[in-house]
Structure 1
């Protein structure tokens, strides 16, 4: 056992001993100091952890842990909530290797020093890095270095929010007239982020728009977010823009419109997206699927109007919205099975899966089939899971499974690569599982991330099994539905 491995073993033992102790016998001053010392050590270990991550990245050691990318390693093995931000901190604070092999100085050496000393934490680091990213490219190296030094000094006494406020003053000092900021800076700082859905299935959209995008959005809001326009609570509200609306009808709709400006902006954005999805702007196909809303629900959910439905892009919709959208569609029902005209078996006749095959796969998997992968179905490829196409695999629905691009490319014969096999028993029977080539053949792992509802139902049955006198309920079938203003496809699994 190496010294470093032995020290980590000793550290884990020491942590267990500390966790078993209490501070009951100490006075208040000592208790407070113990808390300070504890969190100082935690911050110091954040710096050491960055060094470990850099070592994993430099040596591609994430593959030995069964991860295809370093980001996946941070997310699944290190349980880091925001892996990309974590990698950005590593790249800014640690000495990276140049193309010639020598170590470079950290981009933010003073911030790295304070983190290693435990005087600042990761939130302070991210606040400093956010300010540094906003410094114009035209600012010279010496001024940039001085700004980082000042920010690192501020971080030892200020909160992350106060660092951001101080950063505004520093940016104003570096570019008082705003003449240094150019198109490169605006292009570097543009962003639009869609947050996760909360308990009410609502999502937060945050954006930093460049001037052209802002000007275009202003034009859209001026027309589509006008009072009375695109009001979902008013059946007589004009849709689209008010250029073609009857002036009298628009005036009456505006008088009935009690929405705030923010709500009108939201509804205008919804109308704009609806026009793009259903106006042919997105083309006829995306990865073999129609570029429209596709959801997976069971007939029991439709019947009971309960639970939520998962879309192919990874969003959740309340069943009430599912019913509302389905009512607005022009329904055409096509149940894809071996008794219909939809071909699900192509053999060697073609390599790419058909739309029907992808809809069937969505009903079964909901997303990438690789365990712990969060990629939604709309961003996956159809993987020849039984036998690779190059090795004679068949393009038949029972022999394929969805896989995101990076995991599809991770399948192969090398020791660090993966294999896929069909699971033959248990709750995942019929689905394909994944295992590393160095794992025993029986260690197949299915992905449950996209099928949380099934796990909850299974757990509910285990905790509260049905009464033996009652007959077993009919299993609910799973469907895929595509809408609106297009054929409504229903695929039963």
Structure 2
């Protein structure tokens, strides 16, 4: 419920959901340290900052944001595998939507992304690397934007099954190297060019979903 005078909430929201409790004390301390650091940074008066510092802070916080999101893919995979979403109603996407207060469509996309970029576990319990290991490593390092990742994923969805694993691995390494130093709009034609080499009869579209 919104209120003009705000009450005890945040920016006019009277009831703010409480932060979920982390029971493990070490893990709780790490999460609280991150939250405290964000709050402390947000509380700094930025008026006196130099523009060089503003640029640096924006860039470094973008890297941190990308990195945290990337690591959450593994956490989500583990949650799904260990039935940790059973406390919510409905399918896995619906459960994720409840947990994160997002739409089921967005949640479904997040689940699919986690399946490709998060660490996995075999039925035997053996840990497995991400399906796109080089992409996952670059995202965890904060080097890639969501659009970079989308184009790389679409490249491999489009790639014929006849392309051998070694070639796929080299292609992924090359794409990640190119994406790490370019904007998505500069990266797109390079993706299309590599696709034309490996699949000359195809019709690549980086905007497919």
TM over 0.5: yes
Native 8 Å contact 2:121 2:128 kept in 1: yes
Give the superposition deviation at 1:168: 1.6
Of 68, 73, 94, the match for 2:90: 68
1:33 maps to which residue? 56
Instruction: For structure 2, list consecutive stretches of 5 or more residues without a partner in the other structure.
Output: 1-22
User: 1:271-308 CA deviation, whole Å, 9 max, x = no partner?
Assistant: xxxxxxxxxxxxxxxxxxxxxxxxxxxxxxxxxxxxxx
- Could you tell me whether the CA contact under 8 Å between 2:117 and 2:130 is conserved in 1? yes
Counterpart position of 1:112: 136
State the Cα distance separating 1:86 from its structure 2 match. Answer: 1.5
Q: Please give the TM-score of this superposition, normalised by the length of structure 1.
A: 0.34
Q: Counterpart in 2 of 1:97?
A: 121
Q: Does 1:139 align with 2:163?
A: yes
- DSSP-derived class of the 2:160 partner: coil
- In structure 2, the residue matched to 1:15 is 38
Indicate conservation of the 8 Å contact 1:63/1:69, yes or no: no
Conserved 8 A contact 2:144-2:179: yes
Aligned residues: 182
How far, CA to CA, are the matches of 2:183 and 2:110 in structure 1? 19
Q: Which has the higher helix share?
A: 2
CA distance in 1, matches of 2:102, 2:188: 23
Report the structure number with the largest CA radius of gyration.
1
Answer whether contact 1:43 1:121 (CA < 8 A) is retained.
Answer: yes
Structure 1 residues 74 and 116, CA gap change in structure 2 (3 angstroms)? same
* Residue of structure 2 equivalent to 1:49: 72
How much has 1:4 moved relative to structure 2? 1.0
**Residue 100 of structure 1: SS of its match in structure 2?**
coil
The answer as to 2:42 corresponding to 1:24 is no
Question: 2:73, 2:119 within 8 Å by CA — same for their partners in 1?
Answer: no
Distance 1:31 1:70 in 2: 40
1:77 aligns to 2:99 (yes or no):
yes
SS of residue in 2 equivalent to 1:61: coil
- SS of the residue corresponding to residue 62 of structure 1 reads coil
RMSD of aligned C-alpha atoms? 2.5
TM-superposed deviation, 1:207: 8.6
Distance verdict in 2 for CA 1:132–1:80, change over 3 Å? farther
Normalised TM-score (structure 2):
0.77
The offset of 1:80, in angstroms, is: 4.5
Where does structure 1 lack aligned partners over 5 or more consecutive residues?
190-205, 209-493
Q: By how many angstroms is 1:20 displaced?
A: 1.9
- 1:52 Cα deviation from its structure 2 partner: 2.0
Quote the Cα distance in structure 1 between the aligned partners of 2:190 and 2:108.
25
User: What pairs with 1:338-417 in structure 2 (closer than 5 Å)?
Assistant: none
Q: Which structure features the higher share of strand residues?
A: 1
Q: Which residue of 1 aligns with 2:82?
A: 59
Aligned to 1:463: none
Flag the 1:155–1:80 CA change in 2: closer, same or farther, 3 A.
farther
Distance of 1:120 and 1:87 partners within structure 2 = 19
Shift of 1:143: 0.8
Q: Give the number of the structure with larger relative contact order, counting CA–CA contacts within 8 Å between residues 6 or more apart.
A: 2
How far the C-alpha of 1:57 sits from its partner, in A, is: 0.9
Alpha-carbon spacing, 1:163–1:83, altered in 2? closer, same or farther (3 Å): farther
| 8 A contact 1:155–1:163 mirrored in 2 | yes
Task: Summarize deviations over 1:299-355 as a string: whole Å, max 9, x none.
Answer: xxxxxxxxxxxxxxxxxxxxxxxxxxxxxxxxxxxxxxxxxxxxxxxxxxxxxxxxx
Cα distance in 2 for partners of 1:11, 1:62 equals 24
Classify the secondary structure of the residue corresponding to 1:157.
coil
